[in-house]
Amino acid sequence: MHLEIAQSTPTAAAIARVVQAHYPLGDVVAGELLRRGFNHVYRLTLADGRHVVARLCAERPRGEPQLAYEAAVLEHLRARGCPVAIGLPTRSGDVFMHVPLPEGEHALMLFEHLDGEATADVPENIQAFGRGLAQLHAAGEGFESSAPHYTLDLDHLLMRPLQRLLQAPTMTAELRPQYEALGQRLQDRILAMGPLTQVLCHGDAHSDNNFIRTHEGGEREAVFFDFDETGPGYLAYELAVYPWWLHPRNVDGVWSDKALARWHAFIAAYRSVREPTEADLAALAPFMAVRQFWLLGEYAGRVPVWGSQAMPLDYLQRQVKVLTQWETLEVPLVGAADVPAAPKA
């Protein structure tokens, strides 16, 4: 009997053997599975003591991973002085390879290993994160690539995730029109704001996809990784990911003093390097809702792997209430003058 496999998880030892065979790095002496889920991520140890990170791409509802574009983005940012984890080429010079698995081939990409501490709730780290993201956006100006890529527009971030959500097995006839109306109102609201700033987005800048390095003179610097959502898109969406991460995503959620302090440190530091337009800042709250729709669509698209109870009915019912409340959500703002200057190296 042939059994179809939705998603398998290779061991770290198996990925180590693949990397040793296909990358010019010498012996891989140890491996560790760091996490599984949206992707499978492994830390590998080479014989010379260095570490590298392998990312095995999982099935994604938004389409095939755009790895050639991601690699080009990383090379561009590195050339512009941004500290990012660039991709490492295979023996044949390719930026990724395919690994045969029971359910079919999956793409594997290898990256430099970055050291540093978590951003967490340390104000100086959050400020470094905000400045670093602004510098990343500045460095991304003028980037061009003919490689296929995601475009972080309302179709990609909102309307297609909404359609996946509406097809979830736990979706009901009662909830479906409520979600449709919420999504349409959200799209109309953003389109009515007129032109908004476009940047080369990281795509998932919620403070867990960067580390903080502290230099000898005390200056803190954010180093970024995990660019598999990268693409041209709305600055307002990029900036909204962090407050979305901080704000409770439940029916009774309100800004806590701690969340507000973290958000204020971030946005003031960002504005000390790059000043968003008033329209971009006004769009932050609706784009927090866009981010929530994006997440719901990602979950819905992964039901074959994660199971229908990753999105139980009571969860969907609560999310309607959350998104309805977020139609009046406000994001408090502070200016660049409210953040202390970074210590000089």
Q: Is there a common fold for 28-112 and 123-338?
A: no
Q: Which CATH architecture has domain 123-338?
A: Alpha-Beta Complex (3.90)
Which pLDDT belongs to residue 339?
52
The dihedral through the CA atoms of 154, 132, 228, 91 has a sign that is positive
* Boundaries of every domain in the chain: 28-112, 123-338
Tens of pLDDT along the chain (345 residues) come to: 888 998 999 999 999 999 999 999 999 999 999 999 889 999 999 999 999 999 999 888 888 899 999 999 999 999 999 999 999 999 999 999 999 999 999 999 999 999 999 999 999 999 999 999 999 999 999 999 999 999 999 999 999 999 999 999 999 999 999 999 999 999 999 999 999 999 999 999 999 999 999 998 899 999 999 999 999 999 999 999 999 999 999 898 999 999 999 999 999 999 999 999 999 999 999 999 999 999 999 999 999 999 999 999 999 999 999 999 999 999 999 765 665 554 443
**What is the pLDDT at residue 133?**
98
Measured CA to CA in angstroms, residue 297 lies from 158, 160, 183, 255 at distances of: 8, 8, 12, 25
What distance in Å separates the CA atoms of residue 12 and residue 18, rounded to the nearest whole number? 10
User: Tokens 């406000």 map to which residue?
Assistant: 330
User: Could you tell me the two tokens for 163?
Assistant: 């359609």
What are the Cα distances from residue 232, in Å, to 13, 70, 201, 242? 36, 11, 6, 18
For residue 131, the model assigns a pLDDT of 98
- What distance lies between CA 143 and its chain's CA centroid? 19
> How is residue 206 written in tokens?
């919620």
Residue 1 makes CB contacts below 8 A (sequence gap 6+) with none
Helix, strand and coil in the chain, % to nearest 5: 45, 15, 40
Where does 28-112 sit in CATH, by number? 3.30.200.20
